[in-house]
Amino acid sequence: MGAASTTKRRRPRAVPWVLLGLWVAVLALASPFAGKLGDVQRDRAVDYLPASADSTQVAKIQEQLPGGETTELVLVYHRDGGLSAADRKTAAAQVAAMDREFELVATPTGVASKDGSTLMYPAASTAPGTDEEKRDAFVKDVRDVVRAPGGADGLTVDVGGAGALATDASEVYSSLDGPLLYTTVGVVAILLILIYRSPLLWLVPLAVAGVANYLSMGVAYGLNQGFDTSISGQSSGIMTILVFGAGTDYALLIVSRYREELRRTERPYDAMRTALRGCGPAVVASSGTVAAGLLCLLAADLNSSRGMGPLGAVGVLCALAAMLTLLPALLVLFGRRVFWPLVPAFGSEPKKRKSLFQSMGSSAGRRPRTVLVSGGVLLGALALGAFALPGNLKQEDTFTSKPDSIAAMETLAAAYPERGTQPISVIAPTDRADRVLADARGVPGVDSAERGRSSKQWTEISVVAKAPPQTAAETGTIEKLRDELDPGGAYVGGASAEQIDLDDTNRRDMWVVVPIVLAAVLLILVVLLRALIAPLLLLLAVVAVWGASLGIAGLVFGPVFGFEGTDPGLGLLSFCFLVALGVDYGIFLMHRMREECLAGADTGTAALTSLRTTGGVIASAGLVLAATFAVLTNMPMVQLVELGFVIAVGVLLDTFLVRTYLVTSASLALGDKVWWPGPLSKRQTPPPAPEPSAPELVRTP
């Protein structure tokens, strides 16, 4: 009997070590794959384009033509006031050297601007094929050959075109991994030190988040190999943000509940078991909601959006697994001393002080309907700013700095306002190529059309529009080409056509994905909360936050940040993230409120208790998540800056306005009706007691 009792006492001590050993084994298995994630990351146009669009078909067929995919460049020589004879001689010599050194489709022919200030040479090569590294190396080699010679003051030489733009974008995305990770870790570390006020405790959740991030990289690579999921620089960066942001949020909730239980329970192992029983369901439900919301992006037609769904879900679920197993194991092994110097001793009581969230709850409780209406009006007014968002983002406006390719595009736009400088690619069946070529030349707005590469099945035709790239006139020309050439089985693509397809597909995806996200999240909330009104309330709140966040973006993107356009995918991606992450916090609040109601409290009292006990944790979690997404605003791509800003602002609005005031006020105003039609809405409860004036106990995270 004594031996059996001893074994029973020792067994709990072994559990943390077993979990730790399992994680060591998991990391050993994931290690060979995690390091390969960068090898399968692709940032070609076809990896972002709509799956069914004309421009996507063009890009895929170009890979099958003789020589493979074409890398198109434009060499731009410019001097204010006009090019000199020496400048023209330099240009001719460099282009000749380029023609000798590289495998070009044809010898480049110079086109001078009317004012004589600019000379452009369109060039193309099939040597790099579909290999991004070869393409980037080719563009860099061309730039080494084509440059302003020493002593030629005033002469600028830039290499632009779709190939150069893709290389510059690839360099930016490949450079994101290190700075993005280091900045995210630094931001989270600083916030955890401030929140925990401990020189040791902050290291544990941060290290666990790092482990989860490494595991997510291995799983993401496995998904790519097994299911051919698309992985881009944008999606892998967002995955890292989610692992550290969401993972730290879950850690805050678990550590807060664990600290609370350590004051009531002598042994750390037992305290952790009780803590996980209390907050574990909310953490699992919230992470499941986020993952389900992101997986709804699989219904998108846009490759970049569809690929981001699985990667985001992988990041959240890996963070969940680590925070529910590895984090508790480490905390139990370290014992109470990990909280030093604020060690929660067994039987002790936390310091009594006035709680900020008690005050906020009291103010909402005095006039809940007034607070609710006022908050709703404020969010609605902010949402009106969305009408001030700048138009769709053009290629030349996608960088926060000005790389070589963008400088070339700006020079071309100013020097050749009367003509196109970027070819439109038409792919036609070879047996109909002559007819398609003739039809293309007859389309209004077309300046020229020439036959290009050909195979037995397909022929490439290069079309130049009269209008400059990405203008309304060029868009009209592309649409006319598609109308005229479609009966012949031709596809119209190229850089400008890709932008048109991106815009059209994003609008389509909004109508398809948004209802799916709302339905999926609502279903999960109904199952979790056993009610309909409360889930609808949470959904309405997060949609209002999304609208207000876009409105604030509309007020600052142009006037403050100087952005010339808005990423077409901003609306859909920000909606999915803010709805999923916003409901995440709503689950924390509502789950605790439901616990209090099941214990016998009326809904009003339960709402105020829930705000007092979880308000600090939710506020801390919101700050961490907003800060991690705000890291994106320091990146050199406008798309990432805009997405990071909108999500960070939305999380802050959700944390400090919606969760604290509006959801609490709505719960107070509705009372038990908030749980309709569940059993809690039919119970008989006494009227709520008045708020005590004495200070309440504060449970710090």
Each residue's pLDDT tens digit, 486-523: 877 899 998 889 889 988 999 999 999 999 999 999 99
> What's the pLDDT score for residue 699?
39
> What's the pLDDT score for residue 3?
45
CA distances from 161 to 42, 205, 377, 536, 640 (A): 19, 46, 48, 49, 22
- Closest among 549, 671, 551 to 604, alpha carbons compared: 671
Report the DSSP beta bridge partners of residue 158.
76
| 28 CB-near residues (< 8 Å, 6+ apart) | none
Percent of the chain with pLDDT over 70: 92
User: Which residue bears the tokens 């881009």?
Assistant: 232
Under the banding of pLDDT at 50, 70 and 90, the label for residue 396 is confident
pLDDT exceeds 50 at position 695: no
**DSSP E strands: which ranges in 8-54?**
none
The rounded distance, in Å, linking the Cα atoms of 594 and 598 is 6
Look at domain 70-167 and name its CATH class: alpha beta
Least confident range of 34-48, 132-146, 562-576, 625-639: 34-48
Under the banding of pLDDT at 50, 70 and 90, the label for residue 635 is confident
Average pLDDT over residues 666-675: 89
Average pLDDT over residues 512-540: 91
pLDDT exceeds 70 at position 6: no
> What's the pLDDT score for residue 276?
92
The rounded distance, in Å, linking the Cα atoms of 564 and 560 is 11
CA distances from 152 to 74, 276, 323, 455 (A): 21, 71, 61, 44
Average pLDDT over residues 687-694: 48
Least confident range of 134-148, 340-354, 587-601: 340-354
pLDDT exceeds 70 at position 685: no
Q: Considering the entire predicted model, what is its pTM?
A: 0.86
- Closest among 130, 67, 58, 64 to 457, alpha carbons compared: 64
| CB neighbours of residue 388 within 10 Å | 15
> What's the pLDDT score for residue 701?
39
> What's the pLDDT score for residue 132?
78
> What's the pLDDT score for residue 578?
92
Q: Are 653 and 545 in contact (CB under 8 A)?
A: yes
Average pLDDT over residues 677-689: 70
> What's the pLDDT score for residue 355?
61
pLDDT exceeds 90 at position 330: yes
Average pLDDT over residues 380-408: 88
User: Which residue bears the tokens 């070339």?
Assistant: 408
Q: Is 449 helix (H, G, I), strand (E, B) or coil?
A: strand
Q: Residue 426 is inside which H or E element, if any?
A: strand 424-429
CATH code reported for the domain at 1-34+176-349: 1.20.1640.10
Q: Are 356 and 615 in contact (CB under 8 A)?
A: yes
Q: 351-401+508-701 and 412-500 share one CATH topology?
A: no
> What's the pLDDT score for residue 388?
93
Tally of residues, the chain: 701
> What's the pLDDT score for residue 220?
94
pLDDT exceeds 70 at position 696: no
Look at domain 412-500 and name its CATH class: alpha beta
The rounded distance, in Å, linking the Cα atoms of 93 and 223 is 49
Answer positive or negative: Cα dihedral of 158, 419, 637, 178: negative
Look at domain 351-401+508-701 and name its CATH class: mainly alpha
Q: Are 188 and 244 in contact (CB under 8 A)?
A: yes
* Predicted confidence (pLDDT) per residue in 425-484, tens digit: 999 999 999 999 999 999 999 988 989 888 899 999 989 888 888 888 889 999 999 999
Report the DSSP beta bridge partners of residue 74.
122, 160
Q: Is 367 exposed, middle or buried (0-12, 13-18, 19+ CB in 10 A)?
A: middle
The rounded distance, in Å, linking the Cα atoms of 284 and 288 is 6
Residue 146 DSSP label: S
Which structure tokens are listed for 202? 């902050």
Query: What backbone torsions phi and psi does residue 457 show, to the nearest 5 degrees?
Result: -100, -40
Domain ranges for the chain: 1-34+176-349, 70-167, 351-401+508-701, 412-500
